[in-house]
Amino acid sequence: MRERDTAGTGMTSQRTQDRLVDALARQGVGDERVLSALRAVPRHLFVDEALESRAYENTPLPIGEGQTISQPWVVARMTELLLEAGDLRRVLEVGTGSGYQVAVLARLVPQVYTVERLGSLLRKARERLRQAQATNVQTRHGDGFEGWPEYAPYDGILVTAAPETLPTALLEQLGDGGRLVAPLGGAGYQELTVVDREGEHLRRRRVAGVSFVPMRQGRA
């Protein structure tokens, strides 16, 4: 993969990027920390060059293997929901995909861990995270249904592929006072769900309708 222009020009310029972030703010993303992280991470670095000029549209885009980089509004909303939980030191993301969501998280949380089941996507994501200088991210080629027990408990867990129901291992790896944000449901349509852990008690609420690729078992 050749070294990409981090700064960008024209359709990938900072101005184009700022315009997208302003639009997200108008659509109700209120957390300034999230908005500045979105201004700082060049989304065009996380898509193939052929799609670069569309990187600052508020839309998901294909990243290969039938997977997609999430829509910026969804990334912003999920990040904002996670940060509401309070002081986050350690966060786990399930579904690295392009690496974009985790690069955003890396600007807001000291230690970020991410798990991806597809080796080919993970290889590209690692390279992109290096280019974006996200040095506080650790990646793992594994099945997100198992979480990443070695670094648990997490203050926050963000799931970016849709399971039908809440994966038990992820709930077990969520620390006391921690929050998990995940799309729950079948193919095509899911409920973005927030789960808060207070001791042994789990409180759960639905916040929006979303559409993610399904979470699948096993590594490939």
Q: Which residues are catalytic?
A: 70
29 is a contact residue toward ligand SAH (CB under 6 A): no
Instruction: Count the site residues for ligand SAH by CB under 6 A.
Output: 23
Binding mask 170-209 for ligand SAH (x = CB under 6 A): ----------------------------------------
**What is the separation, in whole angstroms, between the first and last Cα of the chain?**
21
Question: Segment contacting ligand SAH (CB under 6 A): 13-21, 25-33, 114-122, 174-182?
Answer: 114-122
Choice between 85 and 125, CB closer to ligand SAH: 125
Rule CB under 6 A: choose which of 72, 144, 156, 185 binds ligand SAH: 144
Q: Smallest distance from the beta carbon of 220 to ligand SAH, in angstroms?
A: 8
- Residue nearest ligand SAH (C-beta atom): 97
Question: Segment contacting ligand SAH (CB under 6 A): 22-30, 33-41, 50-58, 142-150?
Answer: 142-150
132 is a contact residue toward ligand SAH (CB under 6 A): no
Query: Which tokens hold the place of 198?
Result: 């207070």
Cα–Cα distance for residue pair 55/11, rounded to 1 Å: 8
Of the candidates 83, 43, 113, 44, the one whose C-alpha atom is nearest the C-alpha of residue 178 is: 83
> Which residues bind to ligand SAH, rule: CB under 6 A?
67-70, 94-95, 97-98, 100-101, 115-118, 121, 143-145, 160-161, 213, 215-216
